[in-house]
Structure formats: C-alpha cells, structure tokens
Amino acid sequence: MAEYVKYVDVTKCDGCKACMVACKNWNDLPAEVTAFQGSAQSHPKTSADTWNFLQYVEHENGQGDLEYLFRHSSCFHCDKAACEKVCPESAISYSKYGSVVIDHDKCVGCGYCVENCPFEVISLKTYKDKNGKEYRKSQKCTMCTDRLEEGLQPACVTTCHTDALSFGNKADMLAKAQKRLSEIKERFPNANIYNPKGVGGTHTIYVLAEKPNVYDLPDNPKVPTSAVLWKDYAQPIGKMMIGATTMAVVGAFITNNIISKRTKSHEDRGDSHE
C-alpha cells in the first residue's frame, strides 16, 4: 500500500475555517468555548475537542508591509512519531496510509504522548464511566483514517474551496509542493516546504510563505532522545529481562521440584532398608 500525504498550501488559504467545521462534523466533536484571541483566530491551539484550527498571523514582510498569513493546523502524522515511541501501552501506531492513530481501548491516559509531541497537537480528554469515575484518553486528528478505509478523502480536504488542501500519493504531493514553491518564490522569497527530517518527514506537508518560526513551528523538530532510548532500547531490554527473570523463576521451581522428589525418593529407599 502506497503512503499518502495531506498537502497544505498556506498561500491559497483564505482563512474561512471550513476545514474546522468539516472536522467537527465528521468526528462528532463538540463546540468549544475559548477566550478571545485578539484576531479572527478562534482557538489558541488544537485540543481534545478541536483537532484542527486556523492560525492567523500578522506578519511584517521584508518590504515593511503588513501581511495576514493563515495556516491550517493539525497533527503532522510524523513518519517517526514521538507519541508512538513513548506510549507504554502500544496504543499508538501507524496505519497503512501513513497516518498515526490512537487505539482508545489501549490508551490509559498517561499523557506521555502529550508531553513528547514536538508540535503540541495531542491533548487528553476526561470522561466518566457509568459509576462516575473519571478517566482520560488521548485525542488528536486521525487524518480521517476511517474515511480513507472507505476510499474517501479527509473531511477537511473535501471542503476546502480554495484548493489549499490536497490529499494523495506521497510522491505526487511532494512533486506538487516543489512545483508550487517555484511559482511563489518571487512573491514570497522565504517560502519553503515544511517536511522536517528530524521526525523522518511528515504525512502533512506544508508550502509555507515564510520561515517556520513565523508560524510558531519548530525549525528542526526531532524525536526526543529519551523517547528513542525508551522505545528502542529500554523497553526491549526490559521485556528480555522480564522474560529471563520469568524463565529463571520457572527453572528454579522445576529444579526445586526435581531435587525435592529425588530427596524424598532417597529418604523412602533409606526407610525401606531399615
């Protein structure tokens, strides 16, 4: 199965927020009351009930002119996702489409994924069971993996009226990004393709009009070293140690039983000679 990518061209976005509405409608996410952000931006960031939002940036360009920049913001679906690395329950995995998904049956709400995401796009939501006891689950954009499985595109992509969002084969979307970059370089000298290698590349790539930090994006996000050590070294070694310990206990139990039986047998034979 080929990998897929959501392509975001911020230079075509007009900030209509249709992608936000489509996401909430498809995923049955409730409305969220937020404080005034000082601009047309409705939310400060993604949350457990808002999986994508429109970022509004007032930016003074190189000519001293004020520009309003927009960015559709959601999970990046990293190829080497920190959230997947740190999850102790293996509740986060990669789908065959390249999206990073959370298995809520396995999630225990520990929050490690929230703390380690370099883009801060994961949140914990609190629920109550039938007895009123509270528990938490991680929430974020799924890239509409359920829609992909039915041959549909992500809800946000289908509703974008300016073609700022596209979805398709990874190679095709990367080629599209390169072509668009060459078209806008004269107007936006700092334009770039945001597909950071520190996380192995992403399955949500951007054509940005300005440098990443203008959009509050990290220039070179990376999977934390602690996450790599935990997932690739500590956990496997720990499992091996647990396995070795278990084998040692079982071996000791069997050995003790054998010795005990032999001792009893010798004692019985000794008793019969008396």
Q: What is the pLDDT of residue 239?
A: 54
Distance CA 184, CA 61 (A): 15
Single out the residue of 17, 45, 48 nearest to residue 215, CA to CA.
45
Q: What is the pLDDT of residue 192?
A: 98
Q: What is the pLDDT of residue 238?
A: 55
Q: What is the pLDDT of residue 183?
A: 97
Q: State residue 190 phi and psi, 5-degree precision.
A: -95, 10
Q: Both tokens of residue 233?
A: 């070294």
pTM (2 d.p.):
0.82
> Please, are residues 46 and 140 in contact by the beta-carbon 8 Å criterion?
yes
Residues of the chain with pLDDT under 50: 244-255, 258-259, 261-262, 265-266, 269, 271-274
Q: What is the pLDDT of residue 194?
A: 98
Fold of 4-81+140-223: Alpha-Beta Plaits (3.30.70)
> Please, are residues 57 and 45 in contact by the beta-carbon 8 Å criterion?
no
Single out the residue of 145, 140, 155 nearest to residue 26, CA to CA.
155
